[in-house]
Amino acid sequence: MPNSTKSSESASGEKELAFEDALKKLENIVESMESGELPLEVLLTRFEEGTRLVKTCQSRLEEAELKISKLEKNRTGDFTLQPAGRVEEP
């Protein structure tokens, strides 16, 4: 059974995290960085990883926003996802 939080493979072969997974990792990174107990090199590595995770989260949110913007009400009052560029006649 498919799970919406599972990771997927990108076209470049890189493993991409689901939004929830990326957000959780980002929260953990922030906590560890705020502890003040990490050496500078580790902080820089965590910062770089956090930056990548922020981009992943932004990308997932943009994808969701695009899908929502395509969601339209059909003649029967049900909501349907319309393909980009297609407008259903009322």
In order of 22, 28, 69, 88, the CA distances from 66 in angstroms are 20, 28, 5, 17
Q: Which two tokens stand for residue 5?
A: 């939080």
**Residue 27 confidence (pLDDT) above 60:** yes
Options 1.10.600.10, 1.10.760.10, 1.10.287.1040, 3.30.1330.100; CATH for 8-81 is 1.10.287.1040
As a whole number of angstroms, the distance between CA 59 and CA 21 comes to: 14
Segment 56-68 mean pLDDT: 89
The amino acid that residue 37 corresponds to is: E
What pLDDT shows up at residue 25? Answer: 96
Three-state DSSP at 66 gives helix
Q: Are 86 and 71 in contact (CB under 8 A)?
A: no
Percent of the chain topping pLDDT 90: 47
**Residue 74 confidence (pLDDT) above 90:** no
Q: What is the dihedral of CA 42, 48, 52, 57, to 10 degrees?
A: 70
Domain ranges across the chain: 8-81
Segment 16-37 mean pLDDT: 92
